[in-house]
Structure formats: structure tokens, C-alpha cells
Amino acid sequence: MTNFNYSLSVLFLLASAVMLKADTVKLQQDYPIKPVPFTAVHLTDQFWAPRIETNRTVTIPFAFEQCEKSGRMDNFERAALALKGEPFANHQPPGYPFDDTDPYKVLEGASYVLAVQPNPELKMYLDKLIAKIAAAQESDGYLYTARTIDPEHPHAWSGHERWLNDPDQSHELYDSGHLFEAAVAHYQATGETNLLNVAIKNANLLCQVFGPGTNQLNHIWPGHEIVEMGLARLYRATGDERYLKLAKFFLDVRGPGGDEYHQSDIKPRDQREAMGHAVRAAYLYSGMADVAAMTGDSSYTTAIDAIWDNVVQKKLYITGGIGAMGSGEAFGPNYFLPNLSAYCETCASVGNDFWNARLFLFHGDARYVDVFERTLYNSLLDGVSLDGKGFFYPNPLESIGKDSRSPWFGCACCPGNITRFLPSLPGYFYAHTDDQVYVNLYASGAADIDLSHNVAVNIQQTTRYPWDGRIHLAVTPKTSDSAASALFTLKLRIPGWARNEAVPSNLYRFADTNSEPVTLTMNGISVPIQLEKGYASITRQWQPGDVVELDLPMPVRRIVADQKVQSDQGRVTLQRGPIVFCLEWPDNQGQVRNLMLSDDEALQAHFEPALLGGVEVIQGNAASLSTSSSNSVVRTTKALTAIPYYAWANRGRGEMTVWIPNSEKTAHVQAQPSIASTSKITLSHPGTNPDAINDQLAPSPASGQINVFFAGSEEPFFHWWPRKGTPEWVQYDFAKPARVSAVEVYWFDDTGRGECRVPQSWRLSYRRNGEWKPVENPGVFGCEMNQFNRTTFAPVETDGLRLELNLQPDWSGGIYEWKVE
């Protein structure tokens, strides 16, 4: 970088700092509806307020501690020393090139905390951290420790030159985006510019390097989106239009010629279907919304509106999660929504809420808040444990007992997103225009809302929502000329679930009908509800002492999925209010996947104050299905208890399911222990997930588990990947010697999406006196995919079997299930 450019960036920095002196920055254009900031909404409820407090007192300090322990803070110090040419004592191997974003995200969350509650100790900690970050910034504004620590040997994903590898994997612009988000949050919380100046210096460098007229990197787009949102936010805070122009440039330059994973195979304005990495996608769509709102470019609105239709009609889980596939952390094809293998990354839920909140600000339609609320109370909240120190990365809708939350991850994106989302949550409750107040979410607390024309309003909400749908609102207008009343419209969201609409599409529907009506009163007098875009409106000259009461009845409801969603056929899920329920093992005598709930079974809900921090539970009777010794299905009646989905996995590992079979065909009949299931497994090579080989869970075409798109199943499988073309074996040591004469093997083959294939060949040996001998008179050793391959042989008494196979040249392989008779 030349001196000229450097001094130019200093000039820009000064110019931006001057602009900041204005109290509020007036933008040419923005969303037509304004959110009421979280600093003006104070929640005092029993649901969110304690969670926000746990986030403040436990999760944020815990996440900072994890960032320290894992060397993420050291990276800034190492970079600072490298800039001075001094050595750093600790030479930990490099993490990911996006590790800088984890401290940024927690710093953003901690800033929101400071914005509503002074905390000198926390502020001092942030200042020290900010000083470390600032010291790691190169003189021209570049900030990316993965390169600065050792520019000659940067991280393998970083590439040898700045930014050239960003469309693929370097994450330099991703790091910048999170820096901008954190910096604006910190500036708005504290009024101090120590981090904002770092962000501005970095943003000014990007403005010099990227975009038309720079003659430099006018062909590079961000590989992991968020810098678009970050720049839009920096523009909103500073009024510096170059940031908005750069945000728009990053959208305009994107694709074609990239790939689906990065949403760069098609230009964003031409995209109509949600594709690729789900977190990237949700951040991209949010950035498109921001740029469209601030520039008036309607081609981006057209695109995200169509993509939203696609998600809500075909790619949304009932929990509000998005991104079905672990492979590529990606959206699957339309209607591909497996439960056991559902990926539903916590970050994708956060991104889905960012996006839906923006679409609401654009369109003023409650359907976006319906999706926001569904995601919030279910898939997003599931991302953190009740104690605030355990996190889910994927949030599956069914478990065979292998899932548990972790304190941290090597790739730690999800905990940081929880830390920054929860304290900002009050900012999603209300919104306004000059003469309209939107009440979008319900929880006890107070809000101070500034309308224009010297009118403000205070709203006091009293409710037990989400457990009870009765909401009491005391509305107090305040005018600067001390007039006692003010004219405006109060718009109350009537959630889709309260008007027999499970989601704003046909993807899911209520299987029952709710005859209890929604009621609304104004000062005790009934008001007829005329819905407009999902809102009931009251326009009047508001007076102090005005009271609005809304009653959203919350009976237990059954939901079914569109028949195109194969994984949910023959199943129902339970919902009450905004909360989706699940069956978990501790409440159901250890097992839930073999339970069947008949459609005519009456269900009751009641509140359990001592359970899981206080939850509503749903109870009734289910049929428990098991196999008798003669292999027939035995039904016994069992009491069933369902808990809110977000609260599962707080009591140890075990079975869980959101979708409950309502037919014998789809229930997982509890199998009797078998020779195979009681055997000890040994392997030629440890591979991945060996327990799957004899877990008695195999794909079953009858249950609709096979997916035509993938020739695969969501049942657990074992694989040897990345080993390819090698001879391998699996051995069963029986619990006691047995007479056996047949085996069945279901091979794992992920043709079309992975590198596993059925084997080239296999054979079978039994053990006699410690020696392995081939079985006699064997039938065909089949290598067919999507079925059990059965082979009989001369009966033999033995204490073990060994299955030996050859993987196809250049391919790996695996096993869903190996049965022995």
C-alpha cells in the first residue's frame, strides 16, 4: 500500500469521525417501518428475561473464557507482535481463518449488555480486548490475523495474496463483516469510538480496494456473506455512503461462475430458490434486504421475496430451522426435511430470524413475524442449554440418543451468535411508522416508542406468554405539548397458529380445528377483529389509562406435513401457542421412538414449575410397540409426556422425537435383543460411527425413510471414509456361542452426494478354536444398494463372525446394518 493511499484512508477516517458528531444520521432511504430499539424495550417476563440474564451472567463470560483458552485472543497479540517484528512465545497450530469473528461476536453481545446495564468491569474488559484488536490491525487498515501472524505462511485457506481467495475460503471479508457489526454495537452502547475507528479504517481500506473505479479487485465477491449487512450497518451509523455503495457492489459483483454452495452460481438478483450453505444464504438474503431498503433496488426485493416463498413452502422445518443437510451445511432439495439427520444449524436459525425481521420491516406483514417467532421459540432457542453453557451446532428433530450440547466447538460460530442475538431480542418486539405501532411479540415488560409529530407512547404488557395467550396492554400516549391524548393506530399481531394457519404456506397444517376464538377488547368493550396482513388494528385518540386486552387461546394442536415431506408421513407433531413439543426419554420411561399416538387420543396440557425451568407439558396415552419372541408386534398402553422441543437434551443423552408416529407403519417397533445387537464389534480400521452396524436401525422403504434424491436414508450408518479401495473387515464377537446360518447386510452408498459405494466383493468367516474359516455352501454375497443383501450358509455353531470385503477402487464404503440369524 502506498503512502498516498494510507494518508487518504486517514482523511476518510477523520471525515467519518466528524460525521459521527451528529446525534442521529439521517439516511436518504431506509426500511418503511422502523424497529423499536432493544434499549427502549425492557422485558420483565418469566420466559425471556431470565434467559437474557443467563446470557449476560453465564454465557457471555463463558464464551469469552473459551475464546481465551482456545487462543483466539492470542491471535490478535501474535499479529501485533508480528507487525513489530517480535516473536510470540506460544506457537499453537492455526485454527480457522474466521476465528477472529468469535471474539467479535461475543464483544457485540457484551456491548448490547452494556447498552442497557452499566458494568464498569465488563467495559474495562472490552476496552482491553479492543486494544488487542486495534494493535493487530495493519497500518493501512487490514485486519485478519490468519495472515498477519505469518504473512509468508498464512493459513492454508487464506491464499498468498490478500482477498484473492475470498470467494472460496479465506473469510477475510467475513471477518470484516463481523467486525463492523461489533463496532457499531459497541459505539452505540458506549458512545466510544475505539472499536468503531478500527472498523472504519478497515472499511475505508475495502472501499479503496474493491469496487468499480478502484481498478483493483473489481471481480472479487465475499465467500461467506455478512460484510454486506455489516457495511449497511456501518453506513446507518456513520452516514458514509461509500459503505452502502460497497455493500451493493458486493451483491452486484457476485456470480455467475461460482457455485451453489456459496450462492455464486447465479447472480443474487436472479436467484429464486434457497440454495447452498444455509448460514451464508440467510446472511446474503439479509444483506440484500438492507441494500434494497437503502438504495431502492427492487430487483433484490423481488429475489428475496421469491426465495422466501421457496423456503416457507418447501424448505422450512416445523421448528423454524433451515438447512436440512449436514453435507455442505446446506439447504436440501424441495421437501427434503429429514428429522434424525436434520442439520438446522443454530446460526442458520439466527440468520433466518435476521432475514424475516427485515422482510417484516419491508412489507409490514405478520407472516414474516410468524416465521420469526416459530424459529425463535424452537430451533433457535434449542441452540443453547438451560444453564447457558452448552450449545447445539445442528439441531435435529429426532435422536437415537447420541446428541448432546457441547461447551464449545472448533468452529465456534453458533455460541457467539447466541451471545449476540439474545440481548438484542427486545428489539424485535415492537416497530412503528409515524402513526402506527406494531406489537409483534408478546412478553411482560415496558416499551417507550417515539412516533413522529412529537408523539411518544409507553406500552406496558402483562402476560404469561408463551404459556398463556391472555395479553394485557396498558397504552399511555405522551405528547410534547402535554396534550392528554394522541391519534395513532395500534396493530396487534394475531399469530398464524391462533388463526388455524400452522405456517404461511401449505407445507404444514393443523390436523384438528380450534373453535376457541381470538378476542380483543378496548377498555373492556369487545372490538371486532378485521385482519389486515395478520394484524388487528385499533385506531383512536389514545388516552392515558387506555387498556387493550387480547386473548389468543392455546389449546394443544396436532400438526401434519404436506405429503411431499416423506420423513413426516404417518406422523404428527404437537404445538401449543408458539411452542413445538417433543417426546424425550426421561419423561417416557427411557424410550420414545417406539411410541404411537392415535389421532383420537385426548391430550391435556398443564404447567410444571419445577421441570426444566418451568414448562408446560402435554400428556395423554400412547401405544408402546415392541416385538414379541415370535416376532409379532405387541402393543401396550403407556402414559405419554411431551415437553417443549427447545428444552430437550438438558438431562443427558437419550431418545427424542418431534414427529410422533400416528400409525403402526411408521413407529420404530422396539426390537428384541439379537445375536448381532449383543455382539462386540471390532474393525479393520475404526472408521466413523461403528455402533450403527448393530443398532437395529436400518433404512426401511416402507416407512418412507428412503429419499429419492439421495438414494440414502437418515438412519445411522458406519463408514470407512476417507479410506478408499482398501480391504477391510468387521467382526462380531457374540455374547455367547450360537448356531447361525444366515446374515443380511445393508450397505451404505451415497452415490450423488459422497464418496461411499457398495463394496466390490465380500465374504464371511466363522471362528472355530480361535481360527477363522470361510462359511460353507454360502449363497450369493450381494452388493446391491438400498436393500438388505441376504446370504445363507451351512449352519455352524460359533462364537463369532467376520465379514471381509474389498472396497471398490478409488471409492470408500460403509454399512447401515449387519444382521445375523
Residues forming the active site: 329, 413
Min dist. Cβ of residue 333 to Zn ion (A): 22
Min dist. Cβ of residue 474 to Zn ion (A): 40
CB 174 within 8 A of CB 222: yes
Min dist. Cβ of residue 346 to Zn ion (A): 5
- The residue (of 408 and 766) whose beta carbon lies closer to Zn ion is 408
**DSSP for 212-254, written as a single string:** TTSSSBTT---SS--HHHHHHHHHHHH--HHHHHHHHHHHHT-
Q: Give the list of residues 6+ apart from residue 226 with CB closer than 8 angstroms, or none.
A: 174, 177, 178, 181, 283, 287
- The residue (of 108 and 655) whose beta carbon lies closer to Zn ion is 108
User: Side-chain half-sphere of 696: how many Cα atoms within 13 Å?
Assistant: 17
- The residue (of 148 and 417) whose beta carbon lies closer to Zn ion is 417
As given in the structure block, the three cell numbers for residue 424 are 438484542
Min dist. Cβ of residue 393 to Zn ion (A): 6
- The residue (of 345 and 398) whose beta carbon lies closer to Zn ion is 345
- The residue (of 303 and 322) whose beta carbon lies closer to Zn ion is 322
Helix (DSSP H) and strand (DSSP E) numbers for the chain: 16, 31
- The residue (of 414 and 518) whose beta carbon lies closer to Zn ion is 414
Residue nearest to Zn ion (CB): 347
Min dist. Cβ of residue 168 to Zn ion (A): 19
- Give the span between the Cα atoms of 546 and 556, in whole angstroms: 32
Q: What is the DSSP letter of 638?
A: E
- Give the span between the Cα atoms of 644 and 630, in whole angstroms: 37
- The count of residues in the chain is 821
- Give the span between the Cα atoms of 109 and 350, in whole angstroms: 13
Min dist. Cβ of residue 174 to Zn ion (A): 12
- Give the span between the Cα atoms of 218 and 542, in whole angstroms: 54
Residues near Zn ion (CB under 5 A)? 345, 347, 413-414
- Give the span between the Cα atoms of 527 and 520, in whole angstroms: 5
Spell out the long-range contacts of 508-512 with Cβ–Cβ below 8 A and sequence spacing 24 or more: 508/318, 508/559, 508/560, 508/561, 508/562, 509/559, 509/560, 509/562, 510/557, 510/558, 510/559, 511/558, 511/559, 511/560, 511/572, 511/599, 512/557, 512/558
Cis preceding-peptide flag for 256 (omega within 30 of 0): yes
CB 87 within 8 A of CB 81: yes
* For the chain, the helix, strand and coil percentages under 3-state DSSP, each to the nearest 5: 30, 25, 45
Min dist. Cβ of residue 808 to Zn ion (A): 35
- The residue (of 255 and 323) whose beta carbon lies closer to Zn ion is 323
Min dist. Cβ of residue 412 to Zn ion (A): 8
CA angle 72–74–78, rounded 5-degree value: 125
Q: What SS3 class is residue 52?
A: helix
- The residue (of 391 and 430) whose beta carbon lies closer to Zn ion is 391
**What are the backbone angles phi and psi of residue 481, rounded to the nearest 5°?**
-90, 20
Min dist. Cβ of residue 409 to Zn ion (A): 8
As given in the structure block, the three cell numbers for residue 522 are 378496548
As given in the structure block, the three cell numbers for residue 411 are 468452529
- Give the span between the Cα atoms of 100 and 121, in whole angstroms: 23
- The residue (of 304 and 347) whose beta carbon lies closer to Zn ion is 347
Residues β-bridged to residue 742: 792
CA angle 185–188–194, rounded 5-degree value: 80
Q: Give the list of residues 6+ apart from residue 704 with CB closer than 8 angstroms, or none.
A: 566, 567, 569, 570, 666
- Give the span between the Cα atoms of 802 and 679, in whole angstroms: 12
- The residue (of 102 and 172) whose beta carbon lies closer to Zn ion is 102
Min dist. Cβ of residue 670 to Zn ion (A): 35
Q: Are strands 508-510 and 557-561 parallel, antiparallel or unpaired?
A: antiparallel
Min dist. Cβ of residue 345 to Zn ion (A): 5
User: Side-chain half-sphere of 464: how many Cα atoms within 13 Å?
Assistant: 10
- Sheet strands (E) in 451-600: 455-463, 470-479, 486-493, 508-510, 519-522, 525-526, 531-532, 535-542, 546-551, 557-561, 571-576, 579-584, 595-596
Task: Name which of 746, 730, 733, 744 is nearest 687 in CA terms.
Answer: 730
Min dist. Cβ of residue 714 to Zn ion (A): 21
- The residue (of 331 and 734) whose beta carbon lies closer to Zn ion is 331
Q: Which amino acid is at 155?
A: H
Min dist. Cβ of residue 63 to Zn ion (A): 13
**What are the backbone angles phi and psi of residue 509, rounded to the nearest 5°?**
-145, 155
- The residue (of 415 and 445) whose beta carbon lies closer to Zn ion is 415
Q: Which amino acid is at 516?
A: E
- The residue (of 75 and 101) whose beta carbon lies closer to Zn ion is 101
